[in-house]
Chain A
Amino acid sequence: MSANSPTLLSIRDLKVHFDLGGGGPLDKLILNKPEKRVVKAVDGVSLEIQKGETLGLVGESGCGKTTLGRAILRLTELTDGQVFYRDRDLAHLSGKQLREQRRHLQIIFQDPYASLNPRMTIGQIVGEPLKTFNLARGREAEQRVQELLETVGLSKRFIKRFPHEFSGGQRQRIGIARALAVDPDFIVADEPISALDVSIQAQIMNLLEKLRREKNLTYLFISHDLRAIRHVSDRVAVMYLGKLVELADAKDIYHEPLMPYTKALISAVPVPDPQIEATRQRIMLEGDVPSPINPPSGCRFHTRCPYAIDVCKEVIPQLVEIKPRHFAACIRISPAQPHIEEVPAGAAPGL
């Protein structure tokens, strides 16, 4: 991955808000819900995805990473913002035009049990996109399905079987074959390994990597698993409560994280080595992720951040290039003073 590959997808100030009601005249009078309640699942995310890269998107549950992935494909309607793909704004395409574009943009889902229709055979599941987009029919379609199954490491004899006959890892392969059927450019892989056993996770990660190389694919790889993210990604974006807080090359995120949140996330991951586990110091975060209904003011992480100062409650930090190709959203650091530990108490050089 070179630093200046062409941009494949450009996401600008994307917002997805879910209205939970409240705040209407009736709500005020009798329902005791005087305030309008809105979940700001994704709240102003801008991101460029380069052709041929795997962009890892990591965060805890409820941070909006899945919603962001779905909004890019418009499987969830976005509230505001643009998604440019081949000079077209997907966010404002009509149904028919959007469907044409979806051929190039596919998704692999987290739950291999819930995302395959139990009443369809594997052949029908993998062949359906071919039918939808009129790409192949009859004998040709069947042949294509067989090829696809072999590409993802399944026997073509499986074509007449049903999903319940397969294990989780095999089902995930079927989901990948379905996504590949239309020869896409871009795939959102939404927690593709979370539901799988350790020994199967490695198989699926290797398969995705092999396919990326062979078919020149671009991935948005969504996961809460930092070990997996580090392994598969070229760049990593860290999300917290609807906002991007850090974005950098995978090795930089791991070796020199700038944000206190990213540091805590990395330090929370257990390492399979008793010697390291016995000696290392964890950065413990207090409490839970706050509710996205009424997210904290200013920097949304200030309620759990060990470095938070009063200004953090007021100023919404912007994503700034602190080091080359390394962006972070924190007012307590700046390009001149990138290490938060060394910043004098109470100072906010990024302001």
Chain B
Amino acid sequence: MTISNGNLLEVKNLRTYFDTDDGMVKAVDGISFQLKRGETLGIVGESGSGKSVANLSIIRLIPEPGKIVSGEVLFHDSDLLLLPNEAVRKIRGRRIAMIFQDPMTSLNPFMKISRQLMEMTELHLGHSKAQAFEHAVKMLETVGIPDARSRANDYPHEFSGGMRQRVMIAMALSCEPELLIADEPTTALDVTIQAQILELIKTLKRETGTSVILITHDLGVVAGMTDHVIVMYAGKIFEQGKTTELFSLPGNPYTKGLLRSVPDPTAEQGKLYQIPGLPPDVAHLKPGCPFAPRCDRVEEICHKEFPPFVQLNADHHSLCHFAREVYADSGGVILAADERK
């Protein structure tokens, strides 16, 4: 149960199920990945793919009736899933911080911004009130809130959406966490504000060396921000690899379809590629590949057998019976095991 060198986080075979009236929802069903220090990992998927549940599982914030049924989450040398609640609470916010999609519902509307920021460092770093206030102002300046000292005493409703997200980032980073989990941090924002926030996350990451997990449905955001990507579908990892490789040489029909269904503004108009059908109901998955009913290169085996997780390159895996063929179609060359670096 030790973590490999250079890794900050290792998730092994994580399963989180929700026991609902409608049946057992396998929101996250056996995912494994690693995150190196200072690296940014993107997790992409459509709604219901399990990307948010996976990350809530890491910090043990799964709401009822959800349960982590199996797996390991190694952070440094401890398994977060085995630690007592008290110990996890000390890690949350201090060493692993989160930013959520909706900055309005994540901030307390009845508390001044300063108070909410101060709470973090008073609790985790043992700051006095005066110290904590100074630190709060410093953090607000870091994330680019103009006139931070006087704005610190405003309430959340006095801030715009982009400013609130900056406050959330200030809060998340105030204890200098080693890992920042950002769950759709820019989805509720306008594009020009999104560009500002993404730039801010990049800059802060460069300066502090924090590792980041970025959860999003926007392939464009992933392309510009991450070193590695995981594509999730129906609670499973469908493809994972280096960002540059996965975008240029996708080895999974689902990834390929997603990439093709984003309109390319530089190309001429025409019929847009569309993935047919709807995402599956994870409570009632049929045997075989969960993507088979929507897949454009489906064959008989796909409806019968669950696909293997095929290694395509050193860091590149795809969950598909025909992963090698799809990868080759994209232009990828599969190297023999001893040639891989």
Q: Are A282 and B261 in contact (CB under 8 A)?
A: no
- The yes or no answer to B142 lying at the interface (CB within 8 A) is no
Q: Are A274 and B163 in contact (CB under 8 A)?
A: no
Given contacts A201-B261, A282-B199, contact A270 B272 (CB under 8 A): no
Q: Are B258 and A199 in contact (CB under 8 A)?
A: yes
Count residues of B near A (Cβ-Cβ below 8 Å). 47
A49 CB contacts on chain B under 8 angstroms? none
- The yes or no answer to B274 lying at the interface (CB within 8 A) is yes
Q: Which residues of chain A in 148-202 are interfacial with respect to chain B, using CB atoms and an 8 Å cutoff? A: 167, 169-170, 197-202
Minimum CB–CB distance from A221 to chain B (whole Å) comes to 13
Q: Give Cα A285–Cα B189 distance, bound, in whole angstroms.
A: 14
Q: Are B46 and A198 in contact (CB under 8 A)?
A: yes
Q: Are A224 and B46 in contact (CB under 8 A)?
A: no
* Closest residue on chain B to residue A272 by CB atoms: B219
- The interface bits of chain A over 238-272 (1 if a CB of B lies within 8 angstroms of the residue's CB, else 0) are 00000000000011001000000000111111111
Of the listed residues B258, B273, B278, B279, the one surrounded by the most CB atoms of chain A closer than 10 A to its CB is: B278
Q: Are B265 and A202 in contact (CB under 8 A)?
A: no
Q: Give Cα A203–Cα B271 distance, bound, in whole angstroms.
A: 10
Cβ 8 A contact of A230, one of B259, B265, B294: B265
B268 CB contacts on chain A under 8 angstroms? 251
Q: Give Cα A203–Cα B277 distance, bound, in whole angstroms.
A: 9
Minimum CB–CB distance from A113 to chain B (whole Å) comes to 12
Q: Which residues of chain B in 240-269 are interfacial with respect to chain A, using CB atoms and an 8 Å cutoff? A: 243-244, 247-248, 257-259, 261-266, 268-269
Q: Give Cα A201–Cα B266 distance, bound, in whole angstroms.
A: 19
Q: Are B263 and A269 in contact (CB under 8 A)?
A: no
A98 CB contacts on chain B under 8 angstroms? none
Minimum CB–CB distance from A253 to chain B (whole Å) comes to 10
- The interface bits of chain B over 200-228 (1 if a CB of A lies within 8 angstroms of the residue's CB, else 0) are 00000000000000000111111110000
Of B87-95, B190-198, B299-307, the one contacting chain A is B190-198
Of the listed residues B161, B219, B263, B275, the one surrounded by the most CB atoms of chain A closer than 10 A to its CB is: B263
Q: Give Cα A271–Cα B264 distance, bound, in whole angstroms.
A: 8
Q: Give Cα A167–Cα B258 distance, bound, in whole angstroms.
A: 19
- The yes or no answer to A284 lying at the interface (CB within 8 A) is yes
B217 CB contacts on chain A under 8 angstroms? 197-198
Q: Give Cα A251–Cα B248 distance, bound, in whole angstroms.
A: 25
Q: Are B199 and A270 in contact (CB under 8 A)?
A: no
B261 CB contacts on chain A under 8 angstroms? 198-199, 201-202
Q: Which residues of chain A in 87-127 are interfacial with respect to chain B, using CB atoms and an 8 Å cutoff? A: none
- The interface bits of chain A over 17-52 (1 if a CB of B lies within 8 angstroms of the residue's CB, else 0) are 000000000000000000000000000000000000
Given contacts A197-B217, A274-B224, contact A227 B262 (CB under 8 A): yes
- The yes or no answer to A216 lying at the interface (CB within 8 A) is no
- The yes or no answer to A206 lying at the interface (CB within 8 A) is yes
Q: Are B223 and A272 in contact (CB under 8 A)?
A: yes
* Closest residue on chain A to residue B274 by CB atoms: A202
B162 CB contacts on chain A under 8 angstroms? 288
Q: Are B274 and A271 in contact (CB under 8 A)?
A: no
Q: Are A273 and B195 in contact (CB under 8 A)?
A: no
Q: Are B47 and A226 in contact (CB under 8 A)?
A: no
Cβ 8 A contact of A254, one of B160, B244, B265: B265
Q: Are A272 and B263 in contact (CB under 8 A)?
A: no
A202 CB contacts on chain B under 8 angstroms? 261-263, 272-275
A277 CB contacts on chain B under 8 angstroms? 220, 223-224
Minimum CB–CB distance from B297 to chain A (whole Å) comes to 16
Q: Give Cα A209–Cα B279 distance, bound, in whole angstroms.
A: 23
Q: Give Cα A226–Cα B190 distance, bound, in whole angstroms.
A: 11
Q: Which residues of chain A in 272-289 are interfacial with respect to chain B, using CB atoms and an 8 Å cutoff? A: 272-278, 282, 284-285, 288-289
B259 CB contacts on chain A under 8 angstroms? 272
Q: Are A274 and B244 in contact (CB under 8 A)?
A: yes
Given contacts A198-B262, A265-B191, A282-B195, contact A231 B272 (CB under 8 A): yes
B263 CB contacts on chain A under 8 angstroms? 202, 205, 227-228, 230-231
A226 CB contacts on chain B under 8 angstroms? 191, 265
Q: Which residues of chain A in 202-246 are interfacial with respect to chain B, using CB atoms and an 8 Å cutoff? A: 202-203, 205-206, 209, 224, 226-228, 230-232
* Closest residue on chain B to residue A266 by CB atoms: B265
B161 CB contacts on chain A under 8 angstroms? 61
Minimum CB–CB distance from A61 to chain B (whole Å) comes to 6
* A and B contact pairs by CB, cutoff 8 A, 16 listed: A60-B193, A197-B47, A197-B217, A198-B261, A198-B262, A200-B278, A205-B272, A206-B272, A226-B265, A230-B263, A267-B195, A270-B198, A270-B224, A272-B259, A278-B224, A284-B199
User: Nearest 4 pairs between A and B by C-beta?
Assistant: A270-B220, A277-B224, A231-B263, A272-B219
